[in-house]
Chains A and B, each alone.
Chain A
């Protein structure tokens, strides 16, 4: 079974530029997550999709971050304009679990995109 794919793996941009990240979840997984992982910290949830609908985007800085999941499969996360504090690893994860299920919350993570904003 193929894992969660992400691209690019690394990106360096200047502040105020824009950037986009792509994620392809495990086939059949309805739930997709984007996390931001700042160096030395645990992942922080930015947005959660169930199929192509947003379940939670309360931690997403909507003035500069946007995300979409067209057709309920691939997803893109965009930052425009980027700030220095956006330097982090952006992780995509997927899960086959139904929202509200107690059945384990197991999430499968991609390798991440390391973003450096200079």
Chain B
């Protein structure tokens, strides 16, 4: 079945630094791919998504490109802010449909002024 692997955290950066959080997946076919973000004390929010190979999802300065050759969906941001401190989850549908998602373990990002 489908699976996802995320880089371990925590990731600690200074404000305005460049961010990359790695995500690789194993899947049957070419499922949609997602990044969710969880701010402290809150539930998960969809950050961005890509529905087919070579698509680039983007939101709030974050980007991720669906790379079928490397089965990756790495999250990037050119200049992080303190307010980006959160836990980031890569996700994709479980094989078999029914709109079920599987999530990576999450990567905690801490941005310092």
B82 within 8 A of A: no
Inter-subunit contact B104/A42 (CB<8 Å): yes
Interface residues of A (CB under 8 A from B): 4, 6, 31, 33, 40-45, 48, 55-56, 91, 93, 95, 97, 99-102, 104-112
B34 within 8 A of A: yes
Contact partners of B51 in chain A: CB under 8 A: 102, 104
Inter-subunit contact A43/B32 (CB<8 Å): no
A-B contact count (CB 8 A): 68
Inter-subunit contact B103/A99 (CB<8 Å): no
9 more contacts with CB within 8 A, not counting A6-B43, A43-B103, are: A41-B106, A45-B101, A48-B98, A93-B44, A99-B97, A104-B51, A107-B44, A107-B101, A109-B43
Interface mask (B97-110 → A, CB under 8 Å = 1, otherwise 0): 11111111110000
B69 within 8 A of A: no
For the complex formed, measure the closest distance between the CB of B91 and the CB atoms of chain A, giving whole angstroms. 8
Interface residues of B (CB under 8 A from A): 32, 34, 41-46, 49, 51, 89, 91, 93, 97-106
Inter-subunit contact A45/B100 (CB<8 Å): yes
For the complex formed, measure the closest distance between the CB of B15 and the CB atoms of chain A, giving whole angstroms. 25
Cα–Cα, bound, A104→B42 (Å) = 22
Cα–Cα, bound, A111→B97 (Å) = 26
What residue of chain A has the Cβ atom nearest to residue B98's Cβ? A99
For the complex formed, measure the closest distance between the CB of A3 and the CB atoms of chain B, giving whole angstroms. 8
Inter-subunit contact A104/B104 (CB<8 Å): no
Contact partners of B98 in chain A: CB under 8 A: 48, 55-56, 99-100
Most chain B Cβ neighbours within 10 Å, of A4, A104, A111? A104
What residue of chain B has the Cβ atom nearest to residue A91's Cβ? B43
Inter-subunit contact A42/B97 (CB<8 Å): no
What residue of chain A has the Cβ atom nearest to residue B36's Cβ? A109
Contact partners of B104 in chain A: CB under 8 A: 42
Cα–Cα, bound, A104→B78 (Å) = 26
